[in-house]
Structure 1
C-alpha cells in the first residue's frame, strides 16, 4: 500500500490556516505571542544560518567555473541594466495605481491607530544622504567577516566573485579550494532540505503572532490601500512579468508552478531569505547555469526588489492623498527618481520599505507621521511584496541567462512543475 504523503506546499498552507485561527482566538493575548514567537524565530534563524554559506560557496564555484573576469564583468553589467529597467517599470506601476484608484482619498486619520516608527528613523536619516557613489563604495567590504556577520549581500557577492576569479586564475593549484567549496555547496543544500521540514511550524508561529498582535480587523480602515497594493502586485506579475517571460520564451505560469512551495513560504514568512537556497537550486534545474544563478539571485536581493519599490511609490502617494496634498506629475517623477537611489543597498536592514519611505518622505517634504498609520498593516502588505520580489529575481535569472546565450531549458522539469524531490550529490 502506497504511503500517503502531504507535500510541502500543503503543509505550509495547513500551518498558515492554523496560525490565522490560533492568532484570531488569542487576539491581544501577550502570553500567546510569547509562545508563538519562538516557533517563527527558530525557523528564520535556521534559514539565516545556511543562506550565507550557500551564497558564498555557489558564487565561488560558479565564477571559478567561468574563469574569465571579462565574462563576469559583462554578466554584472547586464544584470544591473535589467534590474534598473524593471525597477523603473515597477515604480511607474505603483504611481499609476495610486493616481487611478486614489487609496488615500477621504481617509479619516482619527479612525486609524498609530504605531511607532522611531526604530527606523536613525537608519532613514543616514539613507537620506546616500548617493549612488556611496552605494558603489559600500559594495567593497573593508572587513569581509564583518560583511558576512551583518549579512551585507552586495559585499558578500563582490568578495565571493573576486575570490572565485582568483581560484580560476591560479589554475591547478586552486583545484583543492574549488573542490572544498563544491563540497560546502552540496552539504549546505542537504542542510537546507533538513531545515525546510521546520517550515510549516515556522509559518504557524509567524502568522499566529501577526494575527494575534494586529487582528484581522486592522485591515478594515486601510482596506482600500491593501486592495490597491495587492491589485498592483497582481497586475505586475500577471501582465509585466508575463510579457517579459514571453520575450525570453518561457511560460510564466509553469515557472510559478515550479516555485509554488517557495512562493507560499515567502508569502507566509515575509522573507525572501527563507527561500533563497531552494530557488537557487530550482533555477539551476530549470536550465540556468550555476554561475548566473549564484550571481543574479543574491544581487537581486538588494538591487531588484520589484514588489518593495512598487509599494514605496504607491505608499508615498497614499500618504500625500491622506493629508490632502496634491502632487504634480513632476513632483511624482521626482519621488520616482529619488526611490531609484534610496531603494538600493539596504536589503539587509529590517523594515527596509519603512526605512526607504522615511528617507523619501523627508526628502520631498511629505509628512513622515503618515507612516505611523500604515505600520500596523505593513506585515500584511509585506507578504505580497516578498512574493513579487522572489518572482522578479527568479525571472531575472532566466532573462540574464538568455541574454548570455546560456539558458538550456529543462522542459521535463518545467512541465512537471518541479515535482521531483530536491536531491543533491
Structure 2
C-alpha cells in the first residue's frame, strides 16, 4: 500500500491547495463578515485533521511501549542498551548544535528581518503563548513518571521511554519466567501496527483538510507578506537536509539515498499535516524495511522525538534573530552564541508542548532584550513553517537511526521500498520470533 498511499497524499495535497485558494478567492472580499465565514469554513475542515491527529495520538503511547520493550527484551544485553543510548544522545546533542548554529549563520547571511516594513506591535503586547523559564529541577523530575497510566494518557513520550526501559531490563533479568509476557508484548506490536494501517488510510483526507482549511482562512496574501522570510528559511532547511544527509553518507555510504526513498511517505505525512507525531508509526515501519534493526529503531526514534528535533532547532535560531532584525536590534556574535547555548538547553525541556518552538523562542528572547511580541510577525505563517520543521525532524531522526544502526553492527536485509509484504513479520528463525515490524 506504501506507493499508492504516497500518491493519494500527493493528490490530496494538490487538491487541498486548489480548494483552499478557490474558496478564499470566491468567499473572501476583505470584509469582517466574509472573514468570519472563511474562519467558520476552515473550522469545518479542521474537524477532519483533528480526528486524524487524535487517532495518531491514540496509537503512539502503546506503540512506543510495545516496540521499545520488545526491542530491549530481544537485545538481551543491558550493556548494549547503554551503548545505544549513549551513542544516540551524543548524536542528538551534536545534531542540535549543528542545526542551531546553521540557523544563526544563515539568518545573518540572508538577513530576512532587515528592512521589514510591517507595523510592529507594541513591546508590551503578548503573544498568547504560555512561557516559563527553563528549570533544571522541574525538567529532570518531569522525565520520570509518577504513573504509567498518566504518562500514556498525556502521551509523554520521554516518560513512556523511561518506564519501558525499566520493564525491558526487568524482563531481561527475569529471563525464562518472563517469556509469556514477551510473547504478549510482541503480539501487541502486531496489533498496534495493524491499527496503524487502518488509521493511515485516513491520511489523504486529513492532508486535504489541513491544507484546504489553512488556505481557506488565510489565503495566499499571508504567504506573500513574509515571502522572503519563508523562502530563506526553507532554503536554510534544505541546506540542513544536505548537511545531515552528507554526514549520513560518511557513515553509511550510498545507502543514504535509499534511506530517503524509504522515508518519503512519513516525510510527506509530516509535511502536509505539520505534525512530526503523525509520521511516527510509519517511520518505524519505513526504517524496518530499510534494514534498521527494530531493537535500534524502537529505542532511537522515541528518544529522537524528545531530543533530536533538527527542524525545530534551526527554526529557533533563525526566527529569534529574524525578530531582532525586524526591530533593528543588533546582537554581537558573542551574544548570539550565548543565545544558541540557551536555546540548546531550554529546548530539551519542552517535548510534547504545543507549538513548542514558539514557546521556547518566546521564553528565551526576553533574556536578550528582544520583545517577544515580535513573534506576532510570524505567527500568521507559522503553520507553513511548521510543515517544513516537521519534515526536517523526520529526516534528522531517520539519519540518526540509520547511523546508530551502522555503529551497532550494520543493517538487516532490506525489503523493497514499495513492497506488499505478507502479514507475518520478518525473522531469522527462533532467535527472532518477532524482531521486526510488519510493513503495511
TM-score by length of 1: 0.92
**Which of 11, 14, 17 does residue 14 from structure 2 map onto?**
17
Is 1:332 matched up with 2:336?
yes
- Does the 8 A contact of 1:302 with 1:347 survive in 2? yes
- Give the equivalent residue in structure 1 for 2:113: 104
**Which of 74, 81, 86 does residue 72 from structure 1 map onto?**
81
Change (3 A) 1:212 1:250: same
Counterparts of 1:297-316 in structure 2, within 5 Å, are: 297-316=301-320
TM-score by length of 2: 0.89
- Give the equivalent residue in structure 2 for 1:169: 173
- Does the 8 A contact of 1:111 with 1:221 survive in 2? no
**Which of 110, 129, 147 does residue 120 from structure 1 map onto?**
129
Is 1:271 matched up with 2:275?
yes
**Which of 23, 26, 35 does residue 26 from structure 1 map onto?**
23
Change (3 A) 1:158 1:422: farther
Cα distance in structure 2, aligned partners of 1:266 and 1:57:
23
Cα offset, 1:189, TM superposition: 0.5
Counterparts of 1:236-275 in structure 2, within 5 Å, are: 236-275=240-279
Cα distance in structure 2, aligned partners of 1:423 and 1:31:
45
Cα distance in structure 1, aligned partners of 2:15 and 2:195:
26
Is 1:149 matched up with 2:158?
no
Cα distance in structure 2, aligned partners of 1:96 and 1:260:
28
- Give the equivalent residue in structure 2 for 1:397: 401
- Give the equivalent residue in structure 2 for 1:362: 366
Counterparts of 1:211-222 in structure 2, within 5 Å, are: 211-222=215-226
- Does the 8 A contact of 1:190 with 1:424 survive in 2? no
**Which of 257, 279, 282 does residue 286 from structure 2 map onto?**
282
Cα distance in structure 1, aligned partners of 2:420 and 2:120:
50
Is 1:319 matched up with 2:323?
yes
**Which of 98, 104, 111 does residue 95 from structure 1 map onto?**
104
Cα distance in structure 1, aligned partners of 2:273 and 2:115:
32
RMSD: 2.1
SS at match of 2:116: coil
Cα offset, 1:117, TM superposition: 5.9
- Does the 8 A contact of 2:101 with 2:314 survive in 1? yes
Cα offset, 1:142, TM superposition: 1.5
Counterparts of 1:371-410 in structure 2, within 5 Å, are: 371-405=375-409, 407-408=410-411, 410=413
- Does the 8 A contact of 1:51 with 1:276 survive in 2? yes
- Give the equivalent residue in structure 1 for 2:135: 130
Cα offset, 1:422, TM superposition: 5.7
Cα distance in structure 2, aligned partners of 1:225 and 1:397:
31
Is 1:180 matched up with 2:180?
no
- Superposed CA deviations along residues 199-242 of structure 1, whole A, max 9, x for unmatched, are 11000111111111221210112111101110011011123322
SS at match of 1:109: coil
- Superposed CA deviations along residues 308-333 of structure 1, whole A, max 9, x for unmatched, are 01010001110110000111110000
Cα distance in structure 1, aligned partners of 2:217 and 2:126:
17
- Give the equivalent residue in structure 2 for 1:419: 418
Number of residue-to-residue matches in the alignment: 411
- Give the equivalent residue in structure 2 for 1:160: 164
- Does the 8 A contact of 1:117 with 1:371 survive in 2? no
What runs of 5+ residues in structure 1 fail to find an aligned partner? none
Cα distance in structure 2, aligned partners of 1:65 and 1:202:
36
- Does the 8 A contact of 1:12 with 1:203 survive in 2? yes
